[in-house]
Amino acid sequence: MATQTITAPRLQDKYHKEIKKTLMSEFQYKNFMQVPKIEKVIINIGAKEGQEDIKLLERFSDELGAITGQKPITIRAKKSISAFKLRQGSPIGLKVTLRGMRMYEFLDRLFNIAMPRIRDFRGYSDNSFDGRGNYSLGIQEQTIFPEIKYDEVKKIKGMDITIVTNAKTNEEAKRLLELLGFPFKKS
């Protein structure tokens, strides 16, 4: 019986070998445990159309699963709102939470493959931090990911991505993301 060795993702190796040391010297941390790290990545798709067309929701679910490598959960409405023709319990979105190796692999593909494929892309603003080191961004279409075949897409759908870090300040989180290869707008 052959044993299989699992290699760490490229971005995770880079974090442990280079980025930790850089952050430690820049922010004068006394211990390696103080160095900020990415804890999880959350990807959301709002799919209001899922109430009328369940096949479309399944299609979005398959596409998000292909992008992230993990099956998404369906988010359901907590209460009915008649103005929006929304009933309690009807599906309104999809969500995936990535941690560990899948998280680093997704971020690597996002930073190095998907984001350069965005039309007229000049980088993301650094104003989307929440004050506690977490960064949120929106993507207008799922077709920027190479896992999605453009011919098979029924409807273009955007997604929200939140990168959750354990950094204490926005400056620490921004520097961490810069070192990982996140494309911020040049000032």
* Residue 2 included in any domain: no
CA dist 143 and 118 (Å) reads 9
In the predicted model, is pLDDT for residue 163 greater than 80? yes
CA dist 153 and 132 (Å) reads 36
More confident residue, 85 or 102: 102
* Residue 103 included in any domain: yes
Q: Which residue from 176, 166, 80 is spatially nearest to 126, judged by alpha carbons?
A: 176
Question: What value does the mean pLDDT of the chain take?
Answer: 82
**The pLDDT value given to residue 59:** 82
In the predicted model, is pLDDT for residue 91 greater than 80? no
Range of the domain at 137: 32-180
Provide the number of structural domains found in the chain: 1
* Residue 176 included in any domain: yes
CA dist 24 and 37 (Å) reads 12
In the predicted model, is pLDDT for residue 134 greater than 60? yes
* Residue 20 included in any domain: no
Q: Up-side HSE of residue 180: CA atoms within 13 Å toward CB?
A: 26
Residue 123 has which token pair? 């980088």
* Residue 15 included in any domain: no
**The pLDDT value given to residue 116:** 80
Specify the residue for token string 């399944």: 58
Confidence of residue 131 (pLDDT cuts 50, 70, 90): confident
Confidence of residue 96 (pLDDT cuts 50, 70, 90): very high
Confidence of residue 164 (pLDDT cuts 50, 70, 90): very high
* Residue 1 included in any domain: no
CA distances from 94 to 59, 74, 140, 146, 160 (A): 11, 5, 16, 20, 11
In the predicted model, is pLDDT for residue 139 greater than 60? yes
* Domain CATH for 71: 3.30.1440.10
CA dist 103 and 99 (Å) reads 5
* Residue 88 included in any domain: yes
In the predicted model, is pLDDT for residue 77 greater than 60? yes
**The pLDDT value given to residue 39:** 92
What is the tens place of the pLDDT at every residue in 41-74?
999 988 776 667 778 778 888 888 888 888 998 8
* Residue 14 included in any domain: no
**The pLDDT value given to residue 109:** 87
